[in-house]
Structure 1
Amino acid sequence: MRAAVVREYGEPLEIEERDRPTAPPDGVVVEVEACGICRSDWHAWQGHGDWVDDRVPRGQVLGHEPAGHVVDVGADVQTIAEGDRVAVPFCLGDGTCSYCHSGRGNVCPNGTALGFEADAPGAFAEFVAVPAADYNLVPLPESVSPTAMAALGCRYVTAFHALEHRAAIGAGEWLAVHGCGGVGLSAVQVARALGARVVAIDVREAPLAKARELGADATVDASTVEDTATAVREATDGGAHVAMDALGSRTTARDAIAGLRRAGRYLQVGLTGDDDHGEIPLPTDAIAGRELSILGARGMPPTRYDEVLSLVAGDRLDPGALVTREVPLDDVPERLAAMTDFETVGVEVVTEF
């Protein structure tokens, strides 16, 4: 099969021939019909994550936002059959630990991260193997296309998990989204579906225009204002109730915290790069004095995907609205490179393998 592989960090991915995977006893093989291209793939390609012992190995097949259909089923699988249309979460739990049993499989200590670990080759490929399929695989409703599911990928589900499960954002509350890439724009749409109001912040007009199209109540161009946090507080009548750093930098993190109202909740979703190496200094005295909460979010438990899919089925979320380009596998190296200088808008999806 054909696959996009990291050979050297920062060098173009190589399109290689690989052996087609076989299904483990508890798993399946999925023929990939669509796979989103995510900024987390860009971080992996750059070799980031060594500061938390999370750097992808050379030779890794990237891609972690796939949808497709099952073509091979392991002997121990009970609920999945050949031909089933499925989505594959990137946070793969083992299905047996206390975290998985309590609905927190996205942080399973024995789990794997699809496309980021040697024992979980990714889905920039014609086929992908999925372990613990009865626990991990998500049935895909007929009304949701593989391309739309790839757009849901890790972006929408991460945004939904962050806002609904972690921050418990309420109807009428203000969300400030700092960084309007894929996950940031997803957060705009998710927050609106949950009844919240949104101010979107970025330094580029194109994603800000997209945020307004998706329902943002206000936008702030951080490249044109003297103080971003002041602009956010003015737009939200005193500060956001919830702020999300959807990029992962000291600027967006500190601006997000500074723009919160008292007792606000800060969500860290974006991952840092070479400039910060996983460490961002935060205003701890202000956090204590204003009783701010700091929350992290990583993907979403496989067992809760039905919550997002029900919003899609009910036309309250439209992941297809974020898809700006469909590309063949051969274009993945170039599209990842375009992310270096933030030359992409919305979600790009591989649909030809």
Structure 2
Amino acid sequence: MSQMQAVFLPGNKQVEIRSIPVPEVGPDDVLLEMHASCICRSDLSLYYGNAVVGGGDATGGFVCGHEPAGTVVATGKGVTEFAVGDRVAVYLAIGCGVCAHCRRGDMHLCPKWKCLGFTYDGGNAEFIRVPARNLLKVPGDMSAVAAAISTDAFGTLFSACRKVGVNGLSRIGIWGLGPMGSAGVLAAKALGGQVVALDPIAERREFASKLGADLVLDPTDPQAAQAIREFSGGEGLTGAIDCSGNTAAHNMALDALAPLGRMAFVGENAQTTIRPSDQLIRKQLTVFGSWYFGINEYQDILATLSTHRIDLERLATHTFRLDEAETAFRLFDQRETEKAVFVR
């Protein structure tokens, strides 16, 4: 049996590149040759050994990487809708296929789901085996890097923007301008919103401005709240998205929202502290968690990228080979990269 190189994150900031067998496809599976696979901030929970997805099942015993894109090189005998040579991205949630959530397209809400890179072998390898139903066919002119970024990074924020209700009348605040927040700027602008983007790091604010943000602010600036009020005509924001997971950002966003506004919590955080009476009840806000996207949203994601000529490769600040995995995760952990992508 042929072997392949694959990356594992056993915890304690350890990165292991192992030689393992190339997986064999079952009747409903496909085998992909990997061309791009992104590093995500949630991967660092595996890197440290306290996985935010999968709990005790995510022990670093699986190939990491949940944002992959590649080419089909083998198909199971039951696969009819995909063929060798198809260029695809991969939906990270592997559901049971028959529960109400799966049949609605929300496999990430399936009670029996497995997550690529956490509880199922992921994309930081030379090859990956996945169920054919998890493939997302991409246009011929979309690069592998853009295809990988179109899933968790852009797709998650596109879905969050739609849940927030972004349209041409929206005034949206986005807190945290890492890869997710930057993708949120692109998605919110494409859906017609005016966007104020907030991050304490000057380089991130400058990048968000280049991506089309209407106003960029340092949230630690004492004048930032007043600037948001002026931006929103004194009425407050219609929507907010937090990608930072920071309690101060949660409170600032809730304070900045107009009555009947909507807020999506995207950034991971085990706990936070807010003031429900003043921030929620009196303003009748809608506040909800949002992560990933329904697989049935992907055609709209592709259409938005195409219609607005969005170049997702702009979000990839660094690329690495698989054999550079230790360096890639160390630099990502130290925030010396933004969106880092393994390519081959």
The within-5 A match list for 1:121-132 is 121-131=121-131
Counterpart amino acid of 2:7?
A: A
How many positions carry a matched residue from both structures?
339
Task: Please name the residue that 1:145 is paired with.
Answer: 143
How many angstroms apart in 1 are the aligned matches of 2:54 and 2:113?
17
The answer to whether the Cα contact below 8 Å between 1:327 and 1:349 also exists between their aligned partners in 2 is yes
- 1:163 deviation in Å? 0.8
Matching residue of 2:342? 350
Alignment root-mean-square deviation, CA: 1.9
Aligned residue identity for 1:180: L
Q: 1:312 aligns with which of 301, 305, 315?
A: 305
Q: Which residue of structure 1 lines up, in the alignment, with residue 191 of structure 2?
A: 194
Q: How does 1:33-182 map to 2 (within 5 A)?
A: 33-49=35-51, 53=55, 56-117=58-119, 120-131=120-131, 133=132, 135-164=133-162, 166-182=163-179
The answer (yes or no) to whether the contact 1:12–1:334 under 8 Å persists in 2 is: no
54 and 91 in structure 1: CA distance in 2 versus 1, 3 angstrom threshold: farther
Per-residue deviation, 1:79: 1.2
> Which moves more between the two structures, 260-269 or 308-317?
308-317
CA distance in 2 between partners of 1:50 and 1:313 (Å): 33
Question: Residue 37 of structure 1: CA displacement?
Answer: 1.4
Checking the alignment, whether the CA contact within 8 Å between 2:240 and 2:264 is kept in structure 1 is yes
- Deviations along 1:169-195, one digit per CA (max 9) or x if unpaired, are 121311111000011000001100000
**Are 1:99 and 1:105, in contact at CA under 8 Å, matched by a contact in 2?**
yes
1:324 aligns with 2:321: no
- For the residues of structure 2 that align with 1:236 and 1:85, how far apart are their CA atoms? 43
Deviation per CA, 1:99-151: give whole Å up to 9, x if none.
Answer: 1222323312222211111xx111110111112x1x32111110211111122
The TM-score, its normalising length taken from structure 2, stands at 0.92
Whole-angstrom CA distance in 1 between matches of 2:215 and 2:136? 35
CA shift in 2, pair 1:82/1:330, >3 Å: same
Superposition map of 1:189-338 within 5 A: 189-223=186-220, 225-226=221-222, 228-237=224-233, 238-272=235-269, 278-286=270-278, 287-338=280-331
Q: Aligned partners of 2:330 and 2:81: how far apart in 1?
A: 39
Q: What amino acid does structure 1 have at the position aligned with 2:156?
A: T
Whole-angstrom distance in 2 between the partners of 1:5 and 1:297: 27
- Higher mean displacement: 331-340 or 140-149: 331-340
More displaced stretch, 332-341 vs 195-204? 332-341
CA separation of 1:339 and 1:128: change in aligned 2, threshold 3 A: same
Q: Deviations over 1:198-231 (max 9, x none)?
A: 00100101111110000000011124x1264444
**How far did residue 49 of structure 1 move?**
4.1
Amino acid of the structure 1 residue aligned with 2:324 = D
Q: Which runs of 5+ in 2 are unaligned?
A: none
Counterpart code for 1:82: V
Task: Give unpaired runs (5+ residues) of structure 1.
Answer: 273-277
Q: CA deviation at 1:344?
A: 2.1
Task: Give the deviation of 1:10 after TM superposition.
Answer: 3.1
In structure 2, relative to structure 1, the CA distance for the partners of 1:52 and 1:77 (3 Å cut) is: closer
The aligned amino acid for 2:122 is G
Distance 1:93 1:182 in 2: 26
Deviations 1:291-349 (A, max 9, x none): 1111211211222211111122224422122122221112232222223343223x221
Contact 2:42–2:52 (CA under 8 A) maintained in structure 1: no
- Change in 2 beyond 3 A, CA 1:253/1:342: farther
Distance 1:231 1:338 in 2: 34
Aligned to 1:17: 19
Letter in 1 for 2:106: R
Task: Give, in whole Å, the separation in 2 of the partners of 1:102 and 1:84.
Answer: 25
